[in-house]
Amino acid sequence: MKDKKKVDYASAGVSLRAADQAVARIKTLARATFNENVLSDIGSFGGLFRAPVEKYAEPVLVSSTDSVGTKLKLAFMSGVHTTVGQDIVNHCVNDILVQGATPLFFMDYIGVSRLDPDVLAEVISGLAQACQENGMALLGGETAELPGFYNADEYDLVGTIVGIVERQKIVDGSDVVEGDIVLGLPSVGLHTNGYSLARKICFEIAGLKFGDRVDSLGNQIGPELMKIHRSYLAPVAALLEKIRPHGMAHITGSGIPGNLVRVIPDGLKAVITRGTWPALPIFEFLQKAGDVADKDMFDAFNMGVGYILVVAGKEVGLAESLLADRGQPAFRIGRIEKGKRAVDII
């Protein structure tokens, strides 16, 4: 009878030693984001956070979960893993900001085929940096080593955020009325959406490599696509102290039409006028290189507008001033009119 080989976790592709090394490094990074409301340490079964409810008459928690999507493919191509951590945090911050919420804490899920402590530390450092910049704690998360499930040397990154808002200050679009002005805040690029189409255009149709320079962009194509998703928290939070917008939208997947319509009441439509905000060269490049129709461009990409506020006409000047005081440009890109509920791009 042949001797049977011993089977253990390592032979199945899971390294407990690598996991221990990673946890030790994560603790240092995460602890740097902790504040007086964090009551647990990394490694606990659950993260403990004391909600600062004493600051609110009727506090409401706001939560959201999202992923970086196929922008991760660029991290795998480049070997740069810090920026995607910043991307997912800023994305989630903007998602709850549209309802007027201030972020409290963030939690992550990272699924990998094979745990590489160095790569994981880079990802977590990006998460921690963005959490600090947005004034919230990286409370905990989960790193799952799943050999045979994910492709070798690749990972998935998902984030969950929890914030808080005064119930009477929730912004949900119900106050949007005819005559309101639509203000657009510029993006820095694709942010975290449209990457399946962008990668196909750049690396298959145009035949570019990650480090190839595109003169019209003044940059290499890879770094241009990897520009970090912008957080709008600081300027918008300052504005919310003085003005209550009638509606706000984070321009992510489905672009301006698919996201702005979410805060438009029945019987009204938003009319967005092209050319009222600065065009980013990356979108012109993608459209020409891929021969993409206008509608498809606006459905897939933010087209240079990362965040939208719908404000009363009488307050638009004050809104622009408050944003400018925080160094945030804003452009009058449209208005609210009567009509079938929709977003028209003209």
Q: Residue 108: which region, alpha, beta or left (left: phi > 0; alpha: psi -120 to 50)? A: beta
Please report which confidence band the pLDDT of residue 26 belongs to, taking 50, 70 and 90 as the band edges: confident
Tens-digit pLDDT profile for residues 281-308: 999 999 999 999 999 999 999 999 999 9
Start-to-end C-alpha separation, the chain: 79
Distance between CA atoms of residues 120 and 141, nearest Å: 12
Is pLDDT of 14 > 60? no
Tens-digit pLDDT profile for residues 40-57: 998 889 999 999 999 999
DSSP 56-116: -SSEEEEEEEEE-GGGHHHHHHH---HHHHHHHHHHHHHHHHTTTPEEEEEEEEEEESS--
Residue 177: predicted pLDDT: 98
Burial environment of residue 40 by CB neighbours within 10 A (0 to 12, 13 to 18, 19 or more): middle
Distance between CA atoms of residues 111 and 211, nearest Å: 27
DSSP 168-187: GG---STT--TTPEEEEEEP
Instruction: For the chain, give the mean pLDDT.
Output: 94
Higher pLDDT, 2 or 205: 205
Query: Which tokens hold the place of 71?
Result: 């922008």
Residue 179: predicted pLDDT: 98
Give this prediction's pTM. 0.93
Give the pLDDT mean for 21-48.
Answer: 89
Instruction: Assess contact for 130 and 177: CB atoms under 8 A.
Output: no
Give the pLDDT mean for 83-102.
Answer: 98
Whose tokens are 């060269």? That residue is 281
Is pLDDT of 136 > 70? yes
Domains of the chain: residue spans and CATH? 11-169 (3.30.1330.10), 181-345 (3.90.650.10)
Give the pLDDT mean for 248-272.
Answer: 98
